C-alpha cells in the first residue's frame, strides 16, 4: 500500500479532506510542547513568588506590648489561646504552676500545623507528624520539626499577663 | 508528498519526540523543586528560596530553548518538503 503519493495523484476525496497526518502530528506536538513550556514558566513564577514573599517579609516584625489575660483566668495546667504579634500569629499560653506562665507560637516549625498542650505528658505536641516540643524552652523533643518553637516573652504586671516580645531558642 | 521526503520528516519527528521527553523530565524536576522550596520556606528555611528560584529559572530557560529547537526542526522539515514538492504540505 502506497502511503505517500505525489500531489497530482492523490485520491479525489483528499481534496475535500485536506488534512495531512504527518503535518498534524507536527502541529500537535508543537502545541503540546508550548503548553509544557508555559507550565514550566508557571513553576518558575511560583518560585519567584516565594522568593518575593521571603524578601518582603524580612525585617518587618515589630513586637508591641499586648495584654493577654489575667492570671486568674488560667488555672494551673490550663491553656489560653491568643494571637501575637499580629492577628495572624496564633500562640498558646500555659500556666505550668501557681506563679509560672510560658507562651509559644502555636505554629509547628515543621509544616505549620497547630500544636497543643498535652497535660499528661507535659509537652507541646503537633498532631500532624508527631513532633513534640519541650514546655520548658520550646526545644524539639522528637519528630520532624527542624527548629524550636518561637517563645513569647511574658511579663506579669500585678494580675495581668502581658506579651512584650518573641525569642527563638538558638540551635546548637 | 514524495517518498524520499519521508526520512526527513521521520527524523524531524524523532528529534521533536526526544525534546518533548526531555522537557517532560525537566518539568517534573521543576515541580519537585517548587514543592520542596515551598515546604522549606514554610518551615522557616529562607536560605533555600533564592537557589530554588535560580535553578527553576535555569530549568525554564532550558525548556524554552528546547521549544525553540523544536520550532526550528519543524520549520526545516516543512521547508525541505516544500522544496521537493514545490508546494506547501498543508495544501
Give the model's pLDDT for residue B71: 87
Note whether A103 and A151 are within 8 A (CB): yes
Which ipTM did the prediction report? 0.81
- Residue found by looking up cell 525554564 in the block: B60
Domain count, chain B: 1
The span from the CA of A120 to the CA of A74, in Å, is 17
The CATH number linked to A70 is: 2.102.10.10
| Chain A residues close to B70, C-beta within 8 Å | 29-30, 33
Q: Which three cell numbers stand for residue A100?
A: 509560672
A101 in the same domain as A37: no
Q: In a mutagenesis test of the A interface, which of B22, B25, B26, B30 is the best target, namely the one with the most A β-carbons within 10 Å? A: B30
A84 in the same domain as A159: yes
* Within a domain: B53: yes
Q: B66–A22: do the CB atoms touch at under 8 Å?
A: no
Q: Which residues, other chains included, contact B64 with Cβ-Cβ below 8 Å and sequence gap of 6+?
A: A37, A40
Beta bridge partners of A130: none
Query: Which DSSP letter does residue A148 get?
Result: P
For β-strands A123-126 and A90-95, DSSP reports them as unpaired
A162 in the same domain as A78: yes
A75 in the same domain as A32: no
Note whether A111 and A127 are within 8 A (CB): no
Domain that holds residue A39: 7-56
A50 in the same domain as A73: no
CA-to-CA separations, A64 to A93, A134, A160, A164, in angstroms, rounded: 17, 26, 16, 6
Residues in chain A: 172
Give the model's pLDDT for residue A24: 65
Give the model's pLDDT for residue A172: 46
Domain that holds residue B75: 28-81
Q: State pLDDT tens for residues B28-84.
A: 999 999 999 987 887 677 889 999 999 999 999 999 999 999 888 878 877 765 555
| Chain A residues close to B89, C-beta within 8 Å | 20, 22-23
- The CA distance from A74 to the nearest CA of chain B, in Å, is 31
Return per-residue pLDDT of chain A as tens, 172 residues: 455 666 667 677 766 666 666 666 666 778 888 999 999 999 999 999 999 998 887 655 678 899 999 999 999 999 999 999 889 899 999 999 988 999 999 999 888 899 999 999 999 999 999 999 999 999 999 999 888 899 999 999 989 999 999 887 655 4
What's the longest Cα–Cα distance across chain B? 63
* Within a domain: A52: yes
A162 in the same domain as A121: yes
Given CA atoms A90, A91, A92, A98 in this order, what sign does their dihedral have? negative
Note whether A132 and A120 are within 8 A (CB): no
The span from the CA of B31 to the CA of B24, in Å, is 11
- Residue found by looking up cell 518575593 in the block: A52
The span from the CA of A40 to the CA of B24, in Å, is 10
Closest to A14 (Cα-Cα) out of B81, B13, B77, B90: B90
* Beta-carbon pairs below 8 A across chains A and B: 125
Amino acid at each position: 500500500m502506497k502511503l505517500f503519493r505525489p500531489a497530482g495523484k492523490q485520491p479525489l476525496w483528499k481534496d475535500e479532506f485536506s488534512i495531512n497526518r504527518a503535518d498534524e502530528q507536527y502541529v500537535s506536538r508543537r502545541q503540546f510542547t508550548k503548553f509544557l513550556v508555559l507550565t514550566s514558566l508557571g513553576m518558575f513564577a511560583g518560585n519567584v513568588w516565594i522568593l518575593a514573599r521571603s524578601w518582603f517579609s524580612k525585617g518587618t516584625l515589630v513586637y508591641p506590648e499586648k495584654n493577654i489575660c489575667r492570671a486568674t483566668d488560667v488555672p494551673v495546667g490550663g491553656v489560653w489561646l491568643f494571637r501575637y504579634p499580629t492577628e495572624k500569629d496564633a500562640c498558646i499560653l500555659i500556666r505550668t504552676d501557681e506563679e509560672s506562665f510560658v507562651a509559644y507560637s502555636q505554629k509547628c516549625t515543621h509544616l505549620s500545623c497547630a500544636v497543643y498542650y498535652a497535660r499528661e505528658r507535659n509537652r507541646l505536641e503537633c498532631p500532624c507528624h508527631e513532633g513534640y516540643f519541650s514546655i520548658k524552652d520550646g526545644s524539639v523533643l522528637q519528630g520532624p520539626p527542624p527548629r524550636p518553637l518561637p517563645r513569647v516573652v511574658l511579663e506579669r504586671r500585678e494580675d495581668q499577663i502581658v506579651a512584650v516580645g518573641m525569642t527563638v531558642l538558638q540551635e546548637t | 508528498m514524495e517518498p524520499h521526503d519521508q526520512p526527513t520528516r521521520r527524523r524531524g519527528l524523532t528529534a521533536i519526540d526526544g525534546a518533548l521527553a526531555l522537557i517532560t523530565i525537566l518539568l517534573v524536576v521543576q515541580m519537585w523543586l517548587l514543592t520542596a522550596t515551598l515546604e522549606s520556606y514554610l518551615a522557616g528555611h529562607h536560605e533555600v528560596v533564592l537557589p530554588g528560584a535560580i535553578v527553576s529559572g535555569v530549568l525554564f530557560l532550558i525548556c524554552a530553548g528546547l521549544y525553540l529547537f523544536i520550532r526550528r526542526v519543524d520549520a526545516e522539515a516543512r521547508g525541505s518538503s516544500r522544496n521537493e514538492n514545490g508546494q506547501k504540505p498543508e495544501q
